[in-house]
Structure 1
Amino acid sequence: MNLLSTVRRIAVVAPHPDDEILGCGGTMARAAAAGIEVHVIVVTRGQPPLFEQSLVDRIRRETLHAHAMIGVADTHFLDFPAAALDQVPRSDLNHSLSTALSRIEPDLLLVPFVGDIHLDHQIVFNAAMVHARPRTSSGPACVLAYETLSETNWLAPGVTPAFIPNVFIDISTTIDAKIAAFSSFETQVKPSPDERSIDAIRALATLRGATVYRHAAEAFVMIRQVG
């Protein structure tokens, strides 16, 4: 059965702007085209002096442009400090993210993978899972972890949690939309063979698709599903 066929509302939790496009931009575009309400929660924002304000403002514009291109219904910015979530009281992050997710009430929750090399990703995964605890009937029925190029396979698979996908979503019709949306992040696109290059994004989609005999796919790890 098509996983998206029973979904009304999706929330994608992104530690940083562009993680959501890299991880599941094709799925987001396919869902939006099917009339599913897609929300993105961007948890962090670069802050001076670590990031120049002009760059931060430019990335915010790039984010909104990319989301408009693939039909995101609403983008929620939490504005916690990027690359410094380990310095934020965990209760503050949990409360802010849970409040945003409670307002959205997603059927499908997409989160970064706990084994990503960036500590922000690991912390955001845990915060999302705090909200996703099955304590009420209104919680997300399905939780999937997405993979992010340059994050998911750069820690130490085999020693740390390895990304072993068991859910694949066909993005044959939306891979070009995903690539176009990521291209909007002019500050983030790198030349090949960097993992954040257009060639790498297409290659990964082709590989994940071939795994399940599709032209292109995005891969996920199933965390929980309630039928």
Structure 2
Amino acid sequence: MSKVLVVAVHPDDETLGCGGTLLKHKRNGDGIHWLICTSLEQNHSYYSTREEEISKVGKLYGFDGVHNLRLVTTRVDEYNVSELIGKISSVINLVKPDTIYLPFKGDVHSDHRKIFDAVFSCTKSFRYPFIKKIYMMETLSETEFAPALPDSSFMPNVYSDITEFMDRKLEILQVFKSEIAAHPFPRSIRNQTALATYRGASCGVEYAESFMLLKEIL
């Protein structure tokens, strides 16, 4: 049995990037843990609703652990790097995952890039020997807007067949009501389905999620 940690810079990143794969992990008996990095400030008009959405989504996945750093969303670059690493390291040492799903290092959102750097600093094998696989995930509205340069291009080399879990993934995604809108909004249901269809065609299945493998220790 594996122990999986998905790093969601913002709540809904886990569903956009690897929701179907998380459901597959759960079906296979793996432990799944959700690290939410940012939160709305308590005086935000949507704060209570977002907390309710997070609670509902956690139950729908059946997460074995939900961890929330409660960094201020869109302002992660204001935090000291050492502080970020310390917070993230504490969660990783608590969960001790063998598999980690990370945001893509080239995502256009600065929160994503900052969190990627901090988390990847917490994956050194001599300090975290339990980590065996590290993937970067594709998050619509962030990954596809990265600069069209070789070092910022998402080039998948791992595919996960999520055909069996696609309907459930879309159901969970729609819990985040304020994050979904009609096509051509990037996080539309139509666009999410189109991406899964395209990635599925790349590996011979109906629907798939794709990843970039950064490390695998056999």
Same fold (TM over 0.5): yes
Which letter does structure 2 place at the counterpart of 1:13?
V
* 1:37 counterpart = 2:5: no
* Residue in structure 2 matched with residue 132 of structure 1 by the alignment: 123
Measured in 1, the distance between the counterparts of 2:150 and 2:21 equals 30
* Residue in structure 1 matched with residue 133 of structure 2 by the alignment: 142
Secondary structure, counterpart of 1:106 in structure 2: coil
Secondary structure, counterpart of 2:70 in structure 1: strand
Measured in 1, the distance between the counterparts of 2:46 and 2:128 equals 42
TM-score (norm 2): 0.96
Which letter does structure 2 place at the counterpart of 1:14?
A
Match of 2:187 among 179, 187, 196: 196
Identity %: 30
Secondary structure, counterpart of 2:143 in structure 1: coil
* Residue in structure 2 matched with residue 59 of structure 1 by the alignment: 50
* Residue in structure 2 matched with residue 13 of structure 1 by the alignment: 7
Residues 189 and 167 (structure 1), Cα distance of their counterparts in 2 relative to 1, 3 Å cut: same
Residues 79-90 of structure 1: pairs in structure 2 closer than 5 A: 79-90=70-81
Measured in 2, the distance between the counterparts of 1:127 and 1:14 equals 13
Shift of 1:66: 1.6
Residues 99-138 of structure 1: pairs in structure 2 closer than 5 A: 99-136=90-127, 138=129
Measured in 2, the distance between the counterparts of 1:138 and 1:107 equals 9
* Residue in structure 1 matched with residue 59 of structure 2 by the alignment: 68
Q: Does the CA contact (< 8 Å) of 2:122 and 2:128 recur in 1?
A: no
Shift of 1:224: 0.4
Q: Does the CA contact (< 8 Å) of 1:117 and 1:155 recur in 2?
A: yes
* Residue in structure 2 matched with residue 209 of structure 1 by the alignment: 200
Shift of 1:160: 4.9
Q: Does the CA contact (< 8 Å) of 2:104 and 2:136 recur in 1?
A: yes
Shift of 1:155: 2.2
Per mean C-alpha deviation after superposition, the further-off stretch among 75-84 and 155-164 is 155-164
Q: Does the CA contact (< 8 Å) of 2:103 and 2:139 recur in 1?
A: yes
RMSD between superposed Cα atoms in Å:
1.3
Secondary structure, counterpart of 1:219 in structure 2: strand
